[in-house]
Structure 1
């Protein structure tokens, strides 16, 4: 079974964020449990092993289920949503869903430009008149 440290390493490789940054979201345990629940422990173990062996690149996954799971995990971290699995051509795709309000607020998409999810943080009066902070 994929450990928390392995899940963090996998997630870091898929998102480009460091394990410390991912841990800072407070979503690691919830996301790992969700991936195991939705995809199963064995597919997660296979994906973790694939990434640990060769990293991620254009040919790391092919067009199989590992690629779909990798994309689902990246979407989970960036948007706080689970896209469902089953392939775009599968007759019965698992339904997509928003994981939680917290997952939405902690989505990495907001961190990419130094912002916050709408309606989740009080920016202060007149903040709209200033450009976003440089995330670097």
Structure 2
């Protein structure tokens, strides 16, 4: 019989909490192959105290917590959006009218003053140390090479990630099928 370590228990608690806030089962989350990578990301970016606080909290009572929102986004799209970005981004910084009037979901670099202020707010205020000393705090990054293809987004919308998990030639002609 093997003895589990605190790190393994914390990882299991993280997945259990993540299942509660994402709406997917623990089985589904383990099946992505990203659980350990996502746990390490949150631990490195926010520190052990923040992750303990999140795991110990009631999942139904924390939807406005920026760290929890970052965790949810991490599972769905495989990108770490630091709490600084979750809580401080405004629509104008992330959208810009295109030719057709559509608004792209990427930062608008044509407004350098907004991009600069967003980057500065993501780095923290002057003299403020990163949440977890010893690690460079990155407000926005793809966590692993497989994170995009394993994002819960694709299951939620009944689709496959473009260019990564092709369902077969010509399958695009059929509407997506949603799982119950």
TM range (shorter): 0.7 to 0.9
Runs of 4+ in 1 over 4 A off after TM superposition: none
With normalisation by structure 1, the TM-score equals: 0.83
CA deviations 1:19-70 (Å, max 9, x no partner) are: 001000000000001100001011110111112xxx31xxx2486xxx0000
CA pair 11-62 structure 1, distance change in 2 beyond 3 A: closer
Hey, what's the Cα distance between the residues in 2 that align with 1:62 and 1:76? Answer: 14
Report the secondary structure of 1:12's partner residue. Answer: helix
Hey, what's the Cα distance between the residues in 2 that align with 1:39 and 1:114? Answer: 32
Which of the two has higher C-alpha Rg?
A: 2
Query: What does residue 46 of structure 1 align with?
Result: 53
CA deviations 1:71-128 (Å, max 9, x no partner) are: 0000000010001233418953143112233101100010012211110112222212
Judge conservation of contact 1:7–1:48 (CA < 8 Å) in 2: yes
Report the secondary structure of 1:44's partner residue. Answer: helix
Judge conservation of contact 1:113–1:135 (CA < 8 Å) in 2: no
With normalisation by structure 2, the TM-score equals: 0.64
Greater RCO (Cα-Cα under 8 Å, separation 6 or more)? 2
- Tell me which moved more, 70-79 or 110-119: 110-119
Query: What does residue 6 of structure 1 align with?
Result: 13
Q: CA RMSD in A?
A: 2.1
Please say if 1:118 is aligned against 2:118.
no
Structure 2 residues without counterparts, runs of 5 or longer: 1-5, 90-117, 124-138
Pairs within 5 Å for 1:1-136? 3-51=10-58, 55-56=59-60, 60-61=61-62, 67-86=65-84, 87-88=87-88, 91-94=120-123, 95-136=139-180
Structure 1 residues without counterparts, runs of 5 or longer: none
